[in-house]
Chain A
Amino acid sequence: MEILELLSHGLFLAIQPMNIALIVVGVTLGLFIGAMPGLGSVNGVAILLPITFLVPPASAIIFLAAIYYGAMYGGAISSITLGIPGASTAVATTFDGRPLALKGRASLALVTAAIASFVGGTVSILLFTAFAPPLAHVALSFGPPEIFALMLLAFATFVGLGGDDIPKTVLSICLGLVFASVGFDQISGAPRLVFFGISGFLHGINFLVLAIGVYGIGEMLWTLDTTRGKITSTEARMTFAGIVADTRECFAKAWKGMSIGSFLGFFVGILPAAGATPGSLMSYGVAKMTGRDPDSYGRGNPDGVAAPEAANNSASTGAMLPMLTLGIPGSPTTAILLGGMVIWGLTPGPRLFTDQPEFVWGLIGSFYVSNFFALVINLSFIPLFIWMLRMPFTILAPMIFVLSVVGGYAATNDMHDVWLMLIFGISAFFLRKFDYPLAPAVLAIVLGPIAEPTLRQSLLLSSGDPSIFFTRPIAGTITVIAIILILLPLVGVIRRKLRGTNKASA
């Protein structure tokens, strides 16, 4: 087995003392960067890139990969403890992570997130090791129509996510999709929807600005209003025995979400343009759809934490695949890693595996080691995050507001976005009062910027003929599945209505 030999060589490289030290530092740093709302792996990797010139290329990329892993684990921490998704990949983690934390089960949520991340990471590294080159060709066969079909599928898995009020849910989705199109029309190359001619809208409405506004400001105001400021602290305690019990509970209740997330996340992650966010959203949707008790999702089901967390870690590793084998970044973070490789004098692309086996397998080896250390370091920091949660609410609340404002600025370096975030926050507070579900808007603003251009690219390809989504084999299959999924709940609603009217008439 040539692969095994190369891999063991890679593992050996990754456990050199200096590389281990870099992994530990990188993972810890990444964990905090990821936990900070507004900062994600992109910032961590971009900012620390120049530092890596002090060490040899193999160690440098190991360091960056460790930050990347750490940040992926860290994203879940702010989603669970603060209820603010620190990065788009962690949106789905808030759906069940936050309710668990509010129920005083923050430790279970954090442990589940850590373990699911580890499982997802491990599964994808194994898939990566075994199938990297052939999978690269799968990625290439996904053109605009296939990616659009995939986005349709992502929406379809979320049909059940909205509230009971259908017009308000639809309105929320549309609002997110329209906001996603603000700024610039990629196809015609013209500015679009620059509200009131304010130049800050030229760069569009960043997902984080909406998410931090809705979850950081709006949700906090809502909590203050409904509890009259009476919640003092959550009943979270943390002991070693507690972690063990949580681990057991996590495996018992969340194994299904973990396995769905690990595999689905990987396959969505290897597609450039799709990436970790749709992967984690779809995994959550599928876990909920196939769950024994779908209604318990969104109310604090550990499975709903495990699925997106396993998926986003799995997808992050998956996103490395097109970068290494094709030289195409699957996400902004891998784009910067790619830039780093160019700077170190490596040419990512189809020949990297044959020309630079030592580098490639050293990197893969470091995935295994980073993933292991990320789990250990994350688990050991959980008591710290639990302790934070036990602070009086009158200390925690202003801290969350400060984090939101700083995060809103750091996302785009623009004061315009801080104001926008504040407006979104206050509006979200009122909309929430009138039962408007806002999660669909947040999801739509993530998926919209992928869905619209691919839709229009596809129609340009087919000269305006929409049958292109059905006639291409991969796109056709995905589209049909998506349409069935969208129609299923409708059938259910109609049947219930019919039965309801029958009863009424009877």
Chain B
Amino acid sequence: MAKHFNILAGMAGAVALGVMAVTPAAAWEPTKPVDFVIMAGAGGGADQIARFLQSVAEKKDLTSRPLVPNNKGGGSGAEALIALNTTNDPDHTILVTLNSFFTTPLRQPDLGVDITTFTPVAMMGVDPFVLWVHKDSGITTFEQWLETVKAANGEYVMGGTGTGQEDSLVITFLKDAYGLDIKYIPYDGGGAVAKDLAGQQIMATVNNPAEAKGFYEAGDVVPLVAFSDERLPAFPDVPTIKEKGQDFSYYNQRAVVGAPGQSAEAAEYYQNLFKTIYDSEEWQGYMTSESLSPLWMSPDEQKEYWALQVERHKELLANMEE
């Protein structure tokens, strides 16, 4: 065995020398394929974004080694966090995150994951949330919706991606702020939620614009209120919850982080790489078409943002448990 690799290595080495001579000795570059961990299963919103980022890197030939997508959605992303925490090659391991980056370690403290040890890389944007109803319900305003929910007396059914997930936190906020009684059905992904809203299996959802876009354009679903700081460019007529007098906004982060213990050189490499992707025409166009809000941050700002979000989610989760 050892022999066969030696022979092979010898042969290949000759070829490789030729290749290496051309590349100038530069700063740190990956020497192996980069483990591009995704905190969600194949096919979901987070997965789509990760694969988009990967394809931009590929198309523009930005990396000397490919980014290899690796879906680890198990346990609400716990699996991905553990994978990063225990990797023996932090310089070649990065993670695409969503808000379960904050909530999962809080909800499952025995994982032993401390996200402050992770390396900030890039904040690619934040995904806002919108409240949707089916057009046949006849509801067109948020006030009307509140009345309908109250009149339903606990029989109002909403769907979402699961207890403790982003949308359920927003629904919990609505329940507390307006004293609503809502039945919540968990699904395994935003796409399934959007489908059952269109099929009127459920009455309303809180979902990212990207997931509901197709049905919205066809007129099947109606947006009532956005949980963003300002009105969304794609839905200029939809008021924000702030205009309704609530000091609340909620976004899902679309960020890239490095494994704990990543070397400063490697971190800088990835920061530059994702800055290039962020500035690309493709990513800017994607953000517009999928209604993502830009929120670029420096690594230090990201660290601060994490601390802020951890505190915020502690509160939100505490409310939910009551």
Direct A/B contact, Cβ within 8 angstroms: yes
A328 is contacted by which of B82, B186, B192 (Cβ under 8 Å)? Answer: B192
Q: Chain A contacts of B42 at CB under 8 A?
A: 42, 46, 332, 335-336
Inter-chain contact A49/B185, CB cutoff 8 Å: no
Q: CB-CB contacts of A322-349 with B at 8 A, as 1s and 0s? A: 1000111100100110110011010111
The yes or no answer to A351 lying at the interface (CB within 8 A) is yes
Minimum CB–CB distance for B88 against chain A, Å: 12
The yes or no answer to B199 lying at the interface (CB within 8 A) is yes
- Closest residue on chain B to residue A355 by CB atoms: B217
Q: Chain A contacts of B184 at CB under 8 A?
A: 460
Q: Chain B contacts of A332 at CB under 8 A?
A: 41-43
The yes or no answer to B314 lying at the interface (CB within 8 A) is no
A202 is contacted by which of B44, B48, B79 (Cβ under 8 Å)? Answer: B79
B186 is contacted by which of A49, A143, A351, A457 (Cβ under 8 Å)? Answer: A457
Measured in the bound complex, the distance between the Cα atoms of B211 and A472 in whole Å is 28
The yes or no answer to A120 lying at the interface (CB within 8 A) is no
Q: Chain A contacts of B218 at CB under 8 A?
A: 349-351
The yes or no answer to A199 lying at the interface (CB within 8 A) is yes
The yes or no answer to B54 lying at the interface (CB within 8 A) is yes
Interface size on B, residues (CB 8 A): 56
Measured in the bound complex, the distance between the Cα atoms of B155 and A461 in whole Å is 9
Binds A, one of B13-21, B67-75, B170-178, B243-251: B67-75
Q: Chain B contacts of A405 at CB under 8 A?
A: none
Give residues of chain B (215-237) contacting chain A, Cβ–Cβ below 8 Å: 215, 217-218, 220
Q: Chain A contacts of B111 at CB under 8 A?
A: 199
Report if A140-B195 is in contact (Cβ < 8 Å); known contacts: A50-B58, A345-B289.
yes
Q: CB-CB contacts of B259-298 with A at 8 A, as 1s and 0s? A: 0000000000000000000000000011001100000000
Report if A453-B79 is in contact (Cβ < 8 Å); known contacts: A327-B215, A336-B43.
no
Give residues of chain A (453-469) contacting chain B, Cβ–Cβ below 8 Å: 453, 457, 460-461, 463
Measured in the bound complex, the distance between the Cα atoms of B220 and A295 in whole Å is 50
Q: Chain A contacts of B201 at CB under 8 A?
A: 143-144, 461
Measured in the bound complex, the distance between the Cα atoms of B215 and A433 in whole Å is 54
Minimum CB–CB distance for B89 against chain A, Å: 14
A348 is contacted by which of B72, B195, B214, B285 (Cβ under 8 Å)? Answer: B214
Give residues of chain B (76-98) contacting chain A, Cβ–Cβ below 8 Å: 76, 78-79, 82
Minimum CB–CB distance for B87 against chain A, Å: 12
The yes or no answer to A184 lying at the interface (CB within 8 A) is yes
Binds B, one of A18-26, A65-73, A186-194, A213-221: A186-194
Binds A, one of B116-124, B140-148, B157-165: B157-165
The yes or no answer to A470 lying at the interface (CB within 8 A) is no
Q: Chain A contacts of B163 at CB under 8 A?
A: 187-189
Q: Chain A contacts of B82 at CB under 8 A?
A: 199, 202
Minimum CB–CB distance for A371 against chain B, Å: 24
B47 is contacted by which of A142, A189, A273, A339 (Cβ under 8 Å)? Answer: A339
Give residues of chain A (183-208) contacting chain B, Cβ–Cβ below 8 Å: 183-184, 186-189, 191, 194, 199, 202-204
Measured in the bound complex, the distance between the Cα atoms of B52 and A494 in whole Å is 59
Measured in the bound complex, the distance between the Cα atoms of B69 and A243 in whole Å is 41
B217 is contacted by which of A184, A343, A351 (Cβ under 8 Å)? Answer: A351
Report if A203-B74 is in contact (Cβ < 8 Å); known contacts: A339-B47, A343-B55, A350-B214.
yes
Give residues of chain A (394-424) contacting chain B, Cβ–Cβ below 8 Å: 413
B43 is contacted by which of A140, A188, A338, A453 (Cβ under 8 Å)? Answer: A338
Inter-chain contact A183/B74, CB cutoff 8 Å: yes
- Closest residue on chain B to residue A345 by CB atoms: B289
Inter-chain contact A460/B183, CB cutoff 8 Å: yes
Q: Chain B contacts of A463 at CB under 8 A?
A: 183
The yes or no answer to A387 lying at the interface (CB within 8 A) is no
Inter-chain contact A140/B164, CB cutoff 8 Å: no
Inter-chain contact B199/A142, CB cutoff 8 Å: yes
> What is the interface of chain A, defined by CB distance below 8 A to chain B?
42, 46, 49-50, 53, 139-144, 183-184, 186-189, 191, 194, 199, 202-204, 272-273, 322, 326-329, 332, 335-336, 338-339, 342-343, 345, 347-352, 413, 453, 457, 460-461, 463
- Pick 15 A–B contacts, CB within 8 A, sort by A: A53-B55, A139-B199, A140-B198, A144-B185, A202-B79, A203-B75, A328-B194, A328-B195, A336-B51, A342-B290, A343-B52, A349-B213, A350-B220, A461-B185, A461-B201
Given A186-B187, A199-B82, A342-B289; 19 other pairs, CB 8 A cutoff: A46-B51, A140-B195, A184-B74, A184-B76, A186-B186, A188-B163, A189-B168, A194-B75, A199-B111, A326-B215, A327-B213, A327-B214, A328-B195, A338-B48, A339-B47, A342-B48, A352-B214, A413-B72, A461-B157
Nearest 7 CB-CB pairs, A to B?
A349-B214, A335-B43, A203-B74, A350-B218, A143-B201, A140-B199, A327-B214
